[in-house]
Structure 1
Amino acid sequence: MTTVTTRTVRYPADGLTMVGHLALPAGSGWRPAVLIGPEGPGISEFQRRRAEALAELGYVALLFDINGGEWFTDPQQMLDRALPLLADPERMREIGRAALDVLRAEPRTDPDRIAAIGYGTGGAIALELGRSGVPLRAIATVNGLVTGRPGEAANIHCPVWAGVGSEDPIMPAERREEFTAEMQSAGVDWRLTVYGGAEHAFHHPTAGLTTLPGVAHHPRQAARAWHEVVALLTECVPVAGGS
Protein backbone atom coordinates (compact mmCIF):
# COMPACT_ATOMS: atom_id res chain seq x y z
CA MET A 1 0.00 0.00 0.00
CA THR A 2 1.18 3.54 -0.76
CA THR A 3 2.63 5.24 2.32
CA VAL A 4 0.51 8.19 3.43
CA THR A 5 1.45 10.66 6.15
CA THR A 6 -1.06 12.78 8.02
CA ARG A 7 -1.04 15.69 10.40
CA THR A 8 -3.44 18.03 12.11
CA VAL A 9 -3.38 21.65 10.98
CA ARG A 10 -4.83 24.53 12.98
CA TYR A 11 -5.64 27.87 11.41
CA PRO A 12 -8.02 30.82 12.01
CA ALA A 13 -11.26 31.33 10.11
CA ASP A 14 -14.74 32.70 10.85
CA GLY A 15 -13.62 33.80 14.31
CA LEU A 16 -12.68 30.23 15.26
CA THR A 17 -9.59 28.06 15.40
CA MET A 18 -10.19 25.47 12.71
CA VAL A 19 -8.73 21.98 13.06
CA GLY A 20 -8.10 20.40 9.66
CA HIS A 21 -6.71 17.03 8.59
CA LEU A 22 -3.89 17.03 6.02
CA ALA A 23 -2.95 13.83 4.18
CA LEU A 24 0.20 13.65 2.06
CA PRO A 25 1.09 11.05 -0.58
CA ALA A 26 4.36 9.15 -0.72
CA GLY A 27 7.32 10.86 -2.35
CA SER A 28 8.69 14.35 -2.18
CA GLY A 29 7.61 16.18 -5.33
CA TRP A 30 4.69 18.45 -6.13
CA ARG A 31 1.30 16.83 -6.44
CA PRO A 32 -2.15 18.06 -7.42
CA ALA A 33 -4.21 18.93 -4.38
CA VAL A 34 -7.78 18.59 -3.19
CA LEU A 35 -9.72 20.61 -0.64
CA ILE A 36 -12.37 18.47 1.07
CA GLY A 37 -15.29 20.10 2.87
CA PRO A 38 -17.29 18.14 5.46
CA GLU A 39 -21.02 18.10 6.07
CA GLY A 40 -22.71 20.31 8.67
CA PRO A 41 -21.87 18.30 11.81
CA GLY A 42 -18.15 18.77 11.12
CA ILE A 43 -15.14 16.54 10.58
CA SER A 44 -15.68 12.81 11.11
CA GLU A 45 -13.36 9.82 11.01
CA PHE A 46 -15.09 8.79 7.78
CA GLN A 47 -14.07 12.04 6.10
CA ARG A 48 -10.52 11.72 7.42
CA ARG A 49 -10.33 8.36 5.69
CA ARG A 50 -11.54 9.99 2.47
CA ALA A 51 -8.63 12.46 2.63
CA GLU A 52 -6.24 9.57 3.17
CA ALA A 53 -7.77 7.63 0.28
CA LEU A 54 -7.07 10.60 -2.01
CA ALA A 55 -3.51 10.78 -0.71
CA GLU A 56 -3.10 7.09 -1.57
CA LEU A 57 -4.12 8.03 -5.11
CA GLY A 58 -1.35 10.65 -5.16
CA TYR A 59 -3.11 13.85 -4.11
CA VAL A 60 -2.26 16.29 -1.36
CA ALA A 61 -5.59 16.32 0.49
CA LEU A 62 -6.78 18.80 3.10
CA LEU A 63 -10.02 18.07 4.93
CA PHE A 64 -10.94 21.52 6.14
CA ASP A 65 -12.91 22.36 9.26
CA ILE A 66 -16.11 24.40 9.44
CA ASN A 67 -17.00 24.24 13.15
CA GLY A 68 -13.83 25.10 15.06
CA GLY A 69 -12.97 21.50 15.86
CA GLU A 70 -16.48 20.56 17.00
CA TRP A 71 -18.54 17.58 15.84
CA PHE A 72 -22.23 18.25 16.48
CA THR A 73 -24.20 15.19 17.55
CA ASP A 74 -27.24 17.35 18.36
CA PRO A 75 -29.09 18.15 15.09
CA GLN A 76 -30.31 21.47 16.44
CA GLN A 77 -26.78 22.58 17.30
CA MET A 78 -25.71 21.65 13.80
CA LEU A 79 -28.58 23.60 12.22
CA ASP A 80 -27.92 26.63 14.43
CA ARG A 81 -24.38 26.71 13.07
CA ALA A 82 -24.96 25.62 9.48
CA LEU A 83 -28.06 27.55 8.44
CA PRO A 84 -26.70 31.07 9.10
CA LEU A 85 -23.45 30.03 7.42
CA LEU A 86 -25.23 28.75 4.31
CA ALA A 87 -27.13 32.04 4.11
CA ASP A 88 -23.90 34.08 4.09
CA PRO A 89 -21.74 33.59 0.98
CA GLU A 90 -18.98 35.83 2.29
CA ARG A 91 -18.56 33.75 5.45
CA MET A 92 -18.47 30.57 3.40
CA ARG A 93 -15.82 32.08 1.15
CA GLU A 94 -13.75 33.20 4.15
CA ILE A 95 -13.75 29.64 5.51
CA GLY A 96 -12.87 28.20 2.12
CA ARG A 97 -10.11 30.71 1.38
CA ALA A 98 -8.51 30.22 4.79
CA ALA A 99 -8.31 26.48 4.11
CA LEU A 100 -7.04 27.11 0.61
CA ASP A 101 -4.23 29.24 2.01
CA VAL A 102 -3.20 26.34 4.26
CA LEU A 103 -3.26 23.92 1.33
CA ARG A 104 -1.23 26.25 -0.90
CA ALA A 105 1.34 26.73 1.87
CA GLU A 106 2.05 22.99 1.92
CA PRO A 107 5.34 22.48 -0.01
CA ARG A 108 4.00 19.34 -1.72
CA THR A 109 1.05 21.21 -3.27
CA ASP A 110 1.12 22.16 -6.94
CA PRO A 111 -0.59 25.57 -6.63
CA ASP A 112 -1.83 25.46 -10.22
CA ARG A 113 -3.62 22.13 -9.82
CA ILE A 114 -6.14 22.35 -7.01
CA ALA A 115 -9.68 20.95 -6.92
CA ALA A 116 -12.39 21.36 -4.28
CA ILE A 117 -14.91 18.74 -3.26
CA GLY A 118 -17.43 18.83 -0.45
CA TYR A 119 -20.44 17.31 1.22
CA GLY A 120 -23.47 19.31 2.34
CA THR A 121 -22.18 22.56 3.84
CA GLY A 122 -18.67 21.72 2.66
CA GLY A 123 -19.95 21.30 -0.89
CA ALA A 124 -21.66 24.68 -0.72
CA ILE A 125 -18.34 26.21 0.36
CA ALA A 126 -16.56 24.56 -2.58
CA LEU A 127 -19.09 26.12 -4.95
CA GLU A 128 -18.70 29.54 -3.35
CA LEU A 129 -14.96 29.38 -3.88
CA GLY A 130 -15.66 28.84 -7.57
CA ARG A 131 -18.20 31.66 -7.68
CA SER A 132 -15.66 33.98 -6.09
CA GLY A 133 -13.25 33.36 -8.96
CA VAL A 134 -10.75 31.04 -7.28
CA PRO A 135 -8.95 29.23 -10.13
CA LEU A 136 -9.88 25.65 -9.31
CA ARG A 137 -9.44 22.72 -11.68
CA ALA A 138 -12.68 20.97 -10.64
CA ILE A 139 -15.52 21.26 -8.14
CA ALA A 140 -17.59 18.37 -6.80
CA THR A 141 -20.48 18.71 -4.37
CA VAL A 142 -22.61 15.98 -2.83
CA ASN A 143 -25.87 17.10 -1.16
CA GLY A 144 -24.74 20.73 -1.39
CA LEU A 145 -26.74 22.34 -4.20
CA VAL A 146 -26.83 25.89 -2.87
CA THR A 147 -27.64 28.44 -5.57
CA GLY A 148 -25.41 31.50 -5.57
CA ARG A 149 -26.01 35.20 -6.04
CA PRO A 150 -27.10 36.29 -9.54
CA GLY A 151 -24.34 36.30 -12.13
CA GLU A 152 -21.55 34.99 -9.90
CA ALA A 153 -21.54 31.47 -11.37
CA ALA A 154 -19.93 33.03 -14.45
CA ASN A 155 -16.74 33.18 -12.35
CA ILE A 156 -16.55 29.37 -12.31
CA HIS A 157 -14.04 28.27 -14.96
CA CYS A 158 -13.79 24.56 -14.26
CA PRO A 159 -16.03 21.51 -14.55
CA VAL A 160 -18.64 21.12 -11.80
CA TRP A 161 -20.13 17.78 -10.79
CA ALA A 162 -22.99 17.49 -8.32
CA GLY A 163 -24.62 14.46 -6.77
CA VAL A 164 -27.90 14.29 -4.86
CA GLY A 165 -30.37 11.65 -3.71
CA SER A 166 -33.73 11.45 -5.45
CA GLU A 167 -35.48 11.27 -2.06
CA ASP A 168 -33.53 14.08 -0.41
CA PRO A 169 -36.12 16.42 1.20
CA ILE A 170 -33.47 19.08 1.78
CA MET A 171 -32.42 19.12 -1.89
CA PRO A 172 -35.77 18.56 -3.65
CA ALA A 173 -36.43 18.74 -7.39
CA GLU A 174 -36.99 22.51 -7.27
CA ARG A 175 -33.57 23.04 -5.66
CA ARG A 176 -31.96 20.85 -8.29
CA GLU A 177 -33.66 22.80 -11.07
CA GLU A 178 -32.52 26.15 -9.64
CA PHE A 179 -28.96 24.92 -9.38
CA THR A 180 -28.79 23.50 -12.89
CA ALA A 181 -30.42 26.64 -14.32
CA GLU A 182 -27.76 28.74 -12.61
CA MET A 183 -24.94 26.61 -13.97
CA GLN A 184 -26.39 26.45 -17.48
CA SER A 185 -27.08 30.17 -17.77
CA ALA A 186 -23.49 30.90 -16.72
CA GLY A 187 -22.04 28.55 -19.33
CA VAL A 188 -20.46 26.29 -16.72
CA ASP A 189 -19.36 22.78 -17.73
CA TRP A 190 -21.68 21.01 -15.29
CA ARG A 191 -23.07 17.57 -14.53
CA LEU A 192 -25.72 16.44 -12.05
CA THR A 193 -26.24 12.85 -10.95
CA VAL A 194 -29.47 11.99 -9.15
CA TYR A 195 -29.13 8.78 -7.15
CA GLY A 196 -32.37 6.82 -7.07
CA GLY A 197 -33.76 5.99 -3.65
CA ALA A 198 -31.10 7.93 -1.77
CA GLU A 199 -31.87 10.49 0.93
CA HIS A 200 -29.83 13.37 2.33
CA ALA A 201 -26.28 12.55 3.49
CA PHE A 202 -26.58 9.18 1.75
CA HIS A 203 -22.78 9.14 1.36
CA HIS A 204 -22.03 9.01 5.10
CA PRO A 205 -22.15 5.67 6.97
CA THR A 206 -23.41 7.24 10.21
CA ALA A 207 -26.08 9.41 8.58
CA GLY A 208 -28.87 7.18 9.86
CA LEU A 209 -27.88 7.92 13.47
CA THR A 210 -29.32 11.43 13.33
CA THR A 211 -32.90 12.16 14.29
CA LEU A 212 -33.41 14.47 11.33
CA PRO A 213 -36.00 13.05 8.90
CA GLY A 214 -34.93 12.28 5.36
CA VAL A 215 -31.32 11.53 6.34
CA ALA A 216 -30.02 8.00 5.77
CA HIS A 217 -27.01 6.12 4.47
CA HIS A 218 -27.34 4.36 1.12
CA PRO A 219 -24.23 2.18 0.72
CA ARG A 220 -24.63 1.33 -2.96
CA GLN A 221 -25.25 4.90 -4.06
CA ALA A 222 -22.53 6.19 -1.72
CA ALA A 223 -19.98 3.97 -3.49
CA ARG A 224 -21.17 5.23 -6.87
CA ALA A 225 -20.90 8.87 -5.80
CA TRP A 226 -17.34 8.34 -4.58
CA HIS A 227 -16.49 6.69 -7.89
CA GLU A 228 -17.77 9.78 -9.73
CA VAL A 229 -15.77 12.13 -7.51
CA VAL A 230 -12.58 10.19 -8.18
CA ALA A 231 -13.39 10.07 -11.91
CA LEU A 232 -13.77 13.87 -11.98
CA LEU A 233 -10.40 14.32 -10.27
CA THR A 234 -8.77 11.84 -12.64
CA GLU A 235 -10.15 13.78 -15.61
CA CYS A 236 -9.39 17.29 -14.43
CA VAL A 237 -6.35 16.97 -12.13
CA PRO A 238 -4.64 13.72 -13.03
CA VAL A 239 -1.71 12.56 -10.94
CA ALA A 240 1.25 12.29 -13.30
CA GLY A 241 5.01 12.80 -13.10
CA GLY A 242 6.78 14.09 -10.05
CA SER A 243 8.68 12.01 -7.52
Structure 2
Amino acid sequence: MTTIATRRVEYPADGLTMIGHLALPAGADRRPAVLVGPEGMGLSDVERRRADALAELGYVALAFDLHGGRYLGDPQEMLARCMPLLAEPDRMRGIGHAALDVLRAEARTDPDRIAAVGYGTGGVIALELGRDGADLRAIGTVNGLATGRPGEAARIRCPVWAGVGSEDPVMPPAQREAFTAEMQAAGVDWRLVVYGGALHAFHHPPVDHPIVPGVAYHPRHAQRAWRDVVDLLAECLTAGTVCSRPAAPGPPVRPGAGVDDY
Protein backbone atom coordinates (compact mmCIF):
# COMPACT_ATOMS: atom_id res chain seq x y z
CA MET A 1 0.00 0.00 0.00
CA THR A 2 1.22 3.48 -0.88
CA THR A 3 2.26 5.62 2.07
CA ILE A 4 0.04 8.66 2.49
CA ALA A 5 -0.10 11.50 4.99
CA THR A 6 -3.27 12.84 6.59
CA ARG A 7 -4.09 15.82 8.74
CA ARG A 8 -7.02 17.66 10.21
CA VAL A 9 -7.71 21.11 8.77
CA GLU A 10 -9.84 23.84 10.32
CA TYR A 11 -11.45 26.64 8.34
CA PRO A 12 -14.46 28.96 8.66
CA ALA A 13 -17.71 28.46 6.72
CA ASP A 14 -21.43 29.02 7.30
CA GLY A 15 -20.70 30.76 10.61
CA LEU A 16 -18.96 27.65 11.94
CA THR A 17 -15.44 26.31 12.35
CA MET A 18 -15.32 23.41 9.93
CA ILE A 19 -12.98 20.47 10.50
CA GLY A 20 -11.96 18.71 7.31
CA HIS A 21 -9.76 15.70 6.60
CA LEU A 22 -6.87 16.23 4.17
CA ALA A 23 -5.11 13.23 2.63
CA LEU A 24 -1.86 13.62 0.70
CA PRO A 25 -0.22 11.09 -1.62
CA ALA A 26 3.40 10.09 -1.29
CA GLY A 27 6.00 12.41 -2.76
CA ALA A 28 6.44 16.16 -2.90
CA ASP A 29 5.17 17.03 -6.38
CA ARG A 30 1.93 18.77 -7.24
CA ARG A 31 -0.92 16.36 -7.85
CA PRO A 32 -4.52 16.58 -9.11
CA ALA A 33 -6.97 17.11 -6.28
CA VAL A 34 -10.46 16.02 -5.26
CA LEU A 35 -12.96 17.67 -2.95
CA VAL A 36 -15.06 14.99 -1.20
CA GLY A 37 -18.48 15.96 0.20
CA PRO A 38 -20.36 13.90 2.80
CA GLU A 39 -23.98 12.86 3.21
CA GLY A 40 -26.28 15.08 5.26
CA MET A 41 -25.22 13.46 8.51
CA GLY A 42 -21.82 15.07 8.09
CA LEU A 43 -18.18 14.10 7.84
CA SER A 44 -17.45 10.62 9.15
CA ASP A 45 -14.82 7.92 8.83
CA VAL A 46 -16.55 6.79 5.62
CA GLU A 47 -15.57 9.99 3.82
CA ARG A 48 -12.18 10.07 5.51
CA ARG A 49 -11.46 6.57 4.16
CA ARG A 50 -12.56 7.66 0.72
CA ALA A 51 -10.17 10.60 0.84
CA ASP A 52 -7.40 8.25 1.97
CA ALA A 53 -8.17 5.84 -0.89
CA LEU A 54 -7.97 8.72 -3.37
CA ALA A 55 -4.61 9.75 -1.92
CA GLU A 56 -3.40 6.19 -2.44
CA LEU A 57 -4.38 6.63 -6.10
CA GLY A 58 -2.23 9.76 -6.29
CA TYR A 59 -4.75 12.53 -5.64
CA VAL A 60 -4.70 15.24 -3.00
CA ALA A 61 -8.09 14.78 -1.32
CA LEU A 62 -10.03 16.94 1.13
CA ALA A 63 -13.13 15.47 2.78
CA PHE A 64 -15.01 18.57 3.85
CA ASP A 65 -17.23 19.29 6.83
CA LEU A 66 -20.89 20.34 6.90
CA HIS A 67 -21.72 20.91 10.56
CA GLY A 68 -18.77 22.47 12.35
CA GLY A 69 -17.13 19.24 13.41
CA ARG A 70 -20.36 17.51 14.36
CA TYR A 71 -21.83 14.28 13.00
CA LEU A 72 -25.63 14.41 13.17
CA GLY A 73 -26.69 10.85 13.93
CA ASP A 74 -30.19 11.91 14.98
CA PRO A 75 -32.27 11.94 11.75
CA GLN A 76 -34.51 14.77 12.96
CA GLU A 77 -31.53 16.95 13.89
CA MET A 78 -29.93 16.20 10.53
CA LEU A 79 -33.09 17.11 8.61
CA ALA A 80 -33.59 20.26 10.67
CA ARG A 81 -30.17 21.52 9.56
CA CYS A 82 -29.97 20.09 6.04
CA MET A 83 -33.41 20.94 4.68
CA PRO A 84 -32.96 24.72 5.11
CA LEU A 85 -29.40 24.41 3.81
CA LEU A 86 -30.54 22.58 0.68
CA ALA A 87 -33.05 25.36 0.05
CA GLU A 88 -30.32 28.04 0.07
CA PRO A 89 -27.92 27.65 -2.86
CA ASP A 90 -25.76 30.56 -1.71
CA ARG A 91 -25.16 28.95 1.68
CA MET A 92 -24.21 25.67 0.01
CA ARG A 93 -21.86 27.51 -2.32
CA GLY A 94 -20.27 29.26 0.64
CA ILE A 95 -19.56 25.91 2.32
CA GLY A 96 -18.22 24.48 -0.92
CA HIS A 97 -16.03 27.45 -1.81
CA ALA A 98 -14.54 27.58 1.68
CA ALA A 99 -13.42 23.96 1.37
CA LEU A 100 -12.31 24.45 -2.22
CA ASP A 101 -10.14 27.39 -1.14
CA VAL A 102 -8.44 25.18 1.47
CA LEU A 103 -7.79 22.48 -1.12
CA ARG A 104 -6.53 24.97 -3.70
CA ALA A 105 -4.17 26.55 -1.14
CA GLU A 106 -2.53 23.21 -0.34
CA ALA A 107 1.02 23.24 -1.75
CA ARG A 108 0.64 19.73 -3.19
CA THR A 109 -2.50 20.64 -5.18
CA ASP A 110 -2.32 21.26 -8.91
CA PRO A 111 -4.78 24.17 -9.10
CA ASP A 112 -5.57 23.42 -12.74
CA ARG A 113 -6.76 19.87 -12.00
CA ILE A 114 -9.42 19.82 -9.29
CA ALA A 115 -12.64 17.79 -9.17
CA ALA A 116 -15.54 17.75 -6.70
CA VAL A 117 -17.30 14.53 -5.73
CA GLY A 118 -20.10 14.44 -3.18
CA TYR A 119 -22.71 12.19 -1.66
CA GLY A 120 -26.23 13.38 -0.83
CA THR A 121 -25.95 16.92 0.53
CA GLY A 122 -22.26 16.93 -0.36
CA GLY A 123 -23.15 16.05 -3.93
CA VAL A 124 -25.62 18.93 -4.17
CA ILE A 125 -22.87 21.25 -2.90
CA ALA A 126 -20.53 19.95 -5.62
CA LEU A 127 -23.19 20.75 -8.22
CA GLU A 128 -23.75 24.21 -6.77
CA LEU A 129 -20.04 24.91 -7.10
CA GLY A 130 -20.39 24.07 -10.76
CA ARG A 131 -23.49 26.23 -11.15
CA ASP A 132 -21.49 29.06 -9.58
CA GLY A 133 -18.83 28.73 -12.27
CA ALA A 134 -16.11 27.16 -10.12
CA ASP A 135 -13.02 26.07 -12.04
CA LEU A 136 -13.45 22.29 -11.77
CA ARG A 137 -12.43 19.52 -14.13
CA ALA A 138 -15.19 17.11 -13.08
CA ILE A 139 -18.22 16.91 -10.81
CA GLY A 140 -19.57 13.66 -9.39
CA THR A 141 -22.71 13.35 -7.30
CA VAL A 142 -24.26 10.26 -5.73
CA ASN A 143 -27.84 10.64 -4.42
CA GLY A 144 -27.57 14.41 -4.84
CA LEU A 145 -29.55 15.17 -8.00
CA ALA A 146 -31.12 18.46 -6.93
CA THR A 147 -31.89 20.96 -9.67
CA GLY A 148 -30.62 24.51 -9.42
CA ARG A 149 -31.87 28.00 -10.08
CA PRO A 150 -33.05 28.55 -13.67
CA GLY A 151 -30.24 29.04 -16.16
CA GLU A 152 -27.35 28.65 -13.74
CA ALA A 153 -26.37 25.16 -14.92
CA ALA A 154 -25.00 26.88 -18.04
CA ARG A 155 -22.09 28.00 -15.84
CA ILE A 156 -20.93 24.40 -15.32
CA ARG A 157 -17.58 24.13 -17.09
CA CYS A 158 -16.86 20.41 -16.79
CA PRO A 159 -18.42 16.96 -17.19
CA VAL A 160 -20.99 15.90 -14.60
CA TRP A 161 -21.45 12.28 -13.54
CA ALA A 162 -24.40 11.31 -11.34
CA GLY A 163 -25.38 8.05 -9.67
CA VAL A 164 -28.67 7.12 -8.02
CA GLY A 165 -30.52 4.03 -6.86
CA SER A 166 -33.54 3.02 -8.92
CA GLU A 167 -35.66 2.65 -5.77
CA ASP A 168 -34.44 5.82 -4.02
CA PRO A 169 -37.58 7.53 -2.63
CA VAL A 170 -35.65 10.77 -2.05
CA MET A 171 -34.58 10.93 -5.71
CA PRO A 172 -37.61 9.45 -7.56
CA PRO A 173 -37.89 9.27 -11.36
CA ALA A 174 -39.44 12.75 -11.61
CA GLN A 175 -36.46 14.25 -9.78
CA ARG A 176 -34.02 12.36 -11.97
CA GLU A 177 -35.81 13.55 -15.09
CA ALA A 178 -35.79 17.18 -13.91
CA PHE A 179 -32.06 16.97 -13.21
CA THR A 180 -31.17 15.44 -16.56
CA ALA A 181 -33.41 17.94 -18.37
CA GLU A 182 -31.57 20.77 -16.62
CA MET A 183 -28.18 19.38 -17.60
CA GLN A 184 -29.24 18.74 -21.19
CA ALA A 185 -30.79 22.18 -21.64
CA ALA A 186 -27.58 23.79 -20.34
CA GLY A 187 -25.38 21.85 -22.77
CA VAL A 188 -23.51 20.07 -19.98
CA ASP A 189 -21.55 16.90 -20.72
CA TRP A 190 -23.55 14.72 -18.32
CA ARG A 191 -23.98 11.07 -17.43
CA LEU A 192 -26.48 9.39 -15.13
CA VAL A 193 -26.08 5.84 -13.82
CA VAL A 194 -29.15 4.25 -12.22
CA TYR A 195 -28.21 1.33 -9.96
CA GLY A 196 -30.99 -1.25 -10.13
CA GLY A 197 -32.74 -2.10 -6.86
CA ALA A 198 -30.72 0.35 -4.76
CA LEU A 199 -32.25 2.73 -2.20
CA HIS A 200 -31.00 6.09 -0.94
CA ALA A 201 -27.44 6.20 0.43
CA PHE A 202 -26.82 2.73 -1.03
CA HIS A 203 -23.09 3.53 -1.03
CA HIS A 204 -22.88 4.13 2.74
CA PRO A 205 -22.03 1.19 5.02
CA PRO A 206 -24.53 0.48 7.82
CA VAL A 207 -24.52 2.86 10.79
CA ASP A 208 -25.25 2.22 14.46
CA HIS A 209 -27.94 4.89 14.82
CA PRO A 210 -31.47 5.45 13.44
CA ILE A 211 -31.82 6.32 9.77
CA VAL A 212 -34.55 7.91 7.70
CA PRO A 213 -36.86 5.58 5.73
CA GLY A 214 -35.73 4.52 2.29
CA VAL A 215 -32.05 4.19 3.18
CA ALA A 216 -30.15 0.92 2.81
CA TYR A 217 -26.62 -0.21 1.99
CA HIS A 218 -26.10 -2.14 -1.25
CA PRO A 219 -22.54 -3.52 -1.16
CA ARG A 220 -22.34 -4.53 -4.82
CA HIS A 221 -23.61 -1.21 -6.15
CA ALA A 222 -21.48 0.66 -3.61
CA GLN A 223 -18.37 -0.89 -5.19
CA ARG A 224 -19.67 -0.15 -8.68
CA ALA A 225 -20.36 3.49 -7.83
CA TRP A 226 -16.86 3.85 -6.39
CA ARG A 227 -15.35 2.42 -9.58
CA ASP A 228 -17.45 4.84 -11.63
CA VAL A 229 -16.17 7.77 -9.55
CA VAL A 230 -12.57 6.59 -9.93
CA ASP A 231 -13.07 6.30 -13.69
CA LEU A 232 -14.46 9.84 -13.85
CA LEU A 233 -11.43 11.21 -12.02
CA ALA A 234 -8.99 9.26 -14.18
CA GLU A 235 -10.69 10.54 -17.32
CA CYS A 236 -10.74 14.17 -16.28
CA LEU A 237 -7.69 14.64 -14.04
CA THR A 238 -5.04 12.64 -15.88
CA ALA A 239 -2.11 14.83 -16.98
CA GLY A 240 -2.45 15.98 -20.55
CA THR A 241 -6.21 15.47 -20.80
CA VAL A 242 -8.71 18.22 -21.53
CA CYS A 243 -11.96 17.50 -19.73
CA SER A 244 -14.08 20.59 -20.06
CA ARG A 245 -17.02 21.47 -22.21
CA PRO A 246 -16.95 20.08 -24.87
CA ALA A 247 -15.41 16.95 -23.39
CA ALA A 248 -12.46 15.29 -25.06
CA PRO A 249 -13.38 12.01 -26.78
CA GLY A 250 -12.00 8.64 -25.81
CA PRO A 251 -12.47 6.07 -23.05
CA PRO A 252 -11.41 6.72 -19.46
CA VAL A 253 -8.21 5.24 -18.08
CA ARG A 254 -8.94 2.82 -15.25
CA PRO A 255 -6.50 2.94 -12.33
CA GLY A 256 -5.68 -0.42 -10.85
CA ALA A 257 -6.00 0.30 -7.14
CA GLY A 258 -8.53 1.34 -4.57
CA VAL A 259 -11.68 0.41 -6.49
CA ASP A 260 -12.96 -2.40 -4.31
CA ASP A 261 -12.87 -0.70 -0.93
CA TYR A 262 -16.41 0.68 -0.94
TM-score normalised to the size of structure 2? 0.90
8 A contact 2:119–2:143 mirrored in 1: yes
| Residues 51-92 of structure 1 deviation map (CA, whole Å, 9 limit, x = unaligned) | 000000000000000111000110000001110000000000
Counterparts of 1:30-41 in structure 2, within 5 Å, are 30-41=30-41
Counterparts of 1:161-200 in structure 2, within 5 Å, are 161-200=161-200
8 A contact 1:201–1:216 mirrored in 2: yes
Matched residues, number: 240
Q: Residue 11 of structure 2 aligns to a residue in which SS?
A: strand
Deviation at 1:206, TM superposition (A): 2.0
2:92 aligned with 1:92, yes or no?
Answer: yes
| Residue in 2 that maps onto 1:212 | 212
| Residue in 1 that maps onto 2:258 | none
| Residue in 2 that maps onto 1:28 | 28
| Residues 157-215 of structure 1 deviation map (CA, whole Å, 9 limit, x = unaligned) | 11100000001000000000000000000000000000001000000002585331100
Q: Residue 36 of structure 1 aligns to a residue in which SS?
A: strand
| Residue in 2 that maps onto 1:234 | 234
Aligned equivalents of 1:99, 1:202: Cα separation in 2: 25
| Residue in 1 that maps onto 2:72 | 72
Deviation at 1:135, TM superposition (A): 1.1
Q: Residue 127 of structure 1 aligns to a residue in which SS?
A: helix
| Residue in 1 that maps onto 2:131 | 131
2:55 aligned with 1:52, yes or no?
Answer: no
8 A contact 2:138–2:160 mirrored in 1: yes
Q: Residue 78 of structure 1 aligns to a residue in which SS?
A: helix
| Residue in 2 that maps onto 1:119 | 119
| Residue in 2 that maps onto 1:82 | 82
Aligned equivalents of 1:148, 1:185: Cα separation in 2: 12
Say what the alpha-carbon RMSD is for the aligned residues: 1.1
Aligned equivalents of 2:68, 2:203: Cα separation in 1: 23
Q: Name the amino acid aligned to 1:193.
A: V
8 A contact 1:207–1:217 mirrored in 2: no
Aligned equivalents of 2:142, 2:88: Cα separation in 1: 19
Aligned equivalents of 2:210, 2:29: Cα separation in 1: 42
| Residue in 2 that maps onto 1:16 | 16
Gaps spanning 5+ residues in structure 1: where?
none
Aligned equivalents of 2:167, 2:29: Cα separation in 1: 43
Q: Name the amino acid aligned to 2:11.
A: Y
Q: Residue 158 of structure 2 aligns to a residue in which SS?
A: coil
Identity of aligned residues (%): 73
| Residue in 2 that maps onto 1:3 | 3
8 A contact 1:208–1:216 mirrored in 2: no
8 A contact 1:37–1:121 mirrored in 2: yes
Q: Residue 139 of structure 1 aligns to a residue in which SS?
A: strand
8 A contact 2:73–2:209 mirrored in 1: no
8 A contact 2:18–2:69 mirrored in 1: yes
Distance change >3 Å, CA 30–CA 95, structure 1 → 2: same
Distance change >3 Å, CA 239–CA 39, structure 1 → 2: farther
Aligned equivalents of 2:144, 2:229: Cα separation in 1: 14
8 A contact 1:23–1:52 mirrored in 2: yes
Gaps spanning 5+ residues in structure 2: where?
241-262
8 A contact 2:74–2:209 mirrored in 1: no
